[in-house]
Amino acid sequence: MAVYKAPLKDIQFVLNEVLDVSKLAKLPGYEDATPDTIHAIIEEAAKLCENVLFPLNRSGDEEGCTYENGVVRTPKGFKHAYDMFREGGWTAVTCDPEYGGQGLPATVGFALQEMFTAANQAFAMYPGLSHGAYEALSRHGSDELKKRYLPKLTDGTWSGTMCLTEPQCGTDLGLIRTRAEPEADGSHKLTGTKIFISAGEHDLTENILHLVLARLPDAPGGTKGISLFLVPKFVPKADGSVGERNGIRCGAVEHKMGIKANATCVMNLDGAKGWLVGEPNKGMAAMFVMMNAARLGVGMQGLGIAETSYQSAVAYARDRLQGRSLTGPKNAKGPADAIIVHPDVRRMLMIQKSFTEAARALSLWVGLLIDEARSHPDAATREAADDLIQMLTPIIKAHFTDMGSECANLAVQTYGGHGFIRENGVEQLVRDARITQLYEGTNGIQALDLVGRKLPMKGGRAAQRLLGEISGFVAAHKADERMKEFVEPLEKALGRVQDAALYLMQNAMKNPDEAGAAATDLLRLMALTAMAFMWNRIVVAAHKGLAAGTDNAFYEAKLATARFYMARVLPQTTSLNHQIKAGAATVMALPAEAF
């Protein structure tokens, strides 16, 4: 069976020893976010994940959502779990106290996201999407909209969605056809169809707030003519209570490969009443607030699935007796050894372990950067943090989800034939993981975003900021003999990133296909290097822990896992650099009709 226990010890290690989360309490507005407070919050969340959410993961997958006459019902237990989630204040953790939130840092939110999605990805999507709607509305909504809707999103009595995709367009949102006609009272009437709307209809909350992209009558073509509208399922009364049913309804629920307990809906708008969010024809800028948050959130789903996959694979490998160790029996009194003694099983477990631990550190670092970008009193520090966030967002979304899918498949491989059997639980992880590589922009789109937007952004300043962070670390630790085995591979990988980037600079302007052909490989090259950077930071903390002599086995395991990553994972950067420099010719040579 699949298993999950919140990795509290490792989360605390990253927060306190790798990142020094105590500095959060020095930022304006976060004075109460002390390490002890953060620890207590994460411990409580772990109980909810282990005792309430994870037990519903498989049953939710088995039952799925049901649709009848426009009504969607979530699986048994989900409504009760959501009520517990909401009453426990988990929807309000990082929201503004002005609207009833707890005002805690994004760093805490990232730690919670990992645990919630690891325990039950389909469930976690409901409040996750609501928080994305909260972020977009809080930044771009009028004071009137914020006052009316944000308290309800904060306390979780109302939920939110994002309605972008239409049957004829996904990534190319410039093709949307949904129309918004102005009304005399300042509202708009929206007509159109949206598809693939996660949590578009359900029975968890009394109202659902849809953020919908649509076109005004005089809008220019393409993405420059898109506006954003808030369209509630029920139009609120003057006193804020739920009023009349609006003209937005679920027409169908998709039958999907995975995340079956989350309702993925076709939403039909038939003269639905909506209110403009932000400026006319500026909807993409407002929606990207939600999309960027969602892309990081999807990255956390990849990490969460990887963690559950790893834990499940380890548990099975310790219990399953099969064959004998190549170096002699390790379970002499038994009929066979546990499969964890076999090198190839160890290889699979170490790939998962070396990913999850570095990914946790990288994601929590990004959480810390978000808090600095929002709250640090120094403008230069805020700017630097934002540059790093911009660079790391496509890397986290794409690499974490690619690896979440890989780790889920490795868990099935560890189980062997038993992994292919539904009752053992890990095949669900493979199915659930697959969507993370597709929604909120496919991973190929993330790679194009990295190459086409993020690398040249601000004249290349943001990219240099990230590479400078790594090179600065290398320079600071290069002379330390204890760090040599970790820093040297990192320095070489960094050189490969710079070499590949230089190749693109020299060739992509002449032939844009060069950038397209290199994009996915370059993203992975940069991701592997960023992960190696985090492993180096983990090693520094582990050396300090060993010097203190408090938990030697824990810190020695960190060093051993870092060595595996440097020796067995990071060398992929060599082949990736070669692939990038092989150019676009062989990718594009075959005529389309020859496929």
CA 324, CA 321: separation in Å to the nearest integer? 9
Strand partners, 264: 198
To the query of whether residue 440 is one of the catalytic residues in this protein, the response is: yes
Q: Check residue 263 and give left, alpha or beta (phi > 0: left; psi -120 to 50: alpha).
A: beta
The greatest distance separating any two alpha carbons of the chain, rounded to the nearest whole angstrom, comes to: 84
Q: Which residues contact 529 (CB under 8 A, 6 or more apart)?
A: 470, 490, 493, 494, 496, 497, 570, 573
Of 264, 149, 164, 176, which Cα lies nearest the Cα of 211? Answer: 164
Of 117, 91, 322, which Cα lies nearest the Cα of 204? Answer: 91
CA 577, CA 568: separation in Å to the nearest integer? 17
CA 109, CA 371: separation in Å to the nearest integer? 11
* Dihedral over Cα of 490, 496, 502, 507: its sign: negative
Q: Which residues contact 3 (CB under 8 A, 6 or more apart)?
A: 308, 311, 312, 315
Block residue for tokens 């969460």: 304
Pairing of strands 66-68, 71-73: antiparallel
Of 247, 245, 251, 281, which Cα lies nearest the Cα of 264? Answer: 251
Dihedrals phi, psi of 242, to nearest 5 degrees: -70, 130
Tokens in use for 595? 């496929």
Strand partners, 178: none
379 CB-contact burial (10 Å; exposed 0-12 / middle 13-18 / buried 19+): exposed
Pairing of strands 207-214, 66-68: unpaired
Strand partners, 224: none
Give the number of other CB atoms < 10 A from CB of residue 578.
Answer: 12
Tokens in use for 219? 């809008």
CA 215, CA 263: separation in Å to the nearest integer? 26
- Containing H/E element for 322? none
Q: Which residues contact 379 (CB under 8 A, 6 or more apart)?
A: none
Among candidate residues 244, 440, 469, 488, the one labeled active-site is 440
Which CA distances in Å does 263 have to 64, 73, 122, 204?
Answer: 8, 9, 9, 11
Counting Cα atoms < 13 Å in the Cβ hemisphere of 460 gives 8
With beta carbons less than 8 A apart as the criterion, state whether 1 and 425 touch. Answer: yes
Of 63, 49, 47, 5, which Cα lies nearest the Cα of 428? Answer: 63
Give the number of other CB atoms < 10 A from CB of residue 69.
Answer: 5
Active site residues: 440
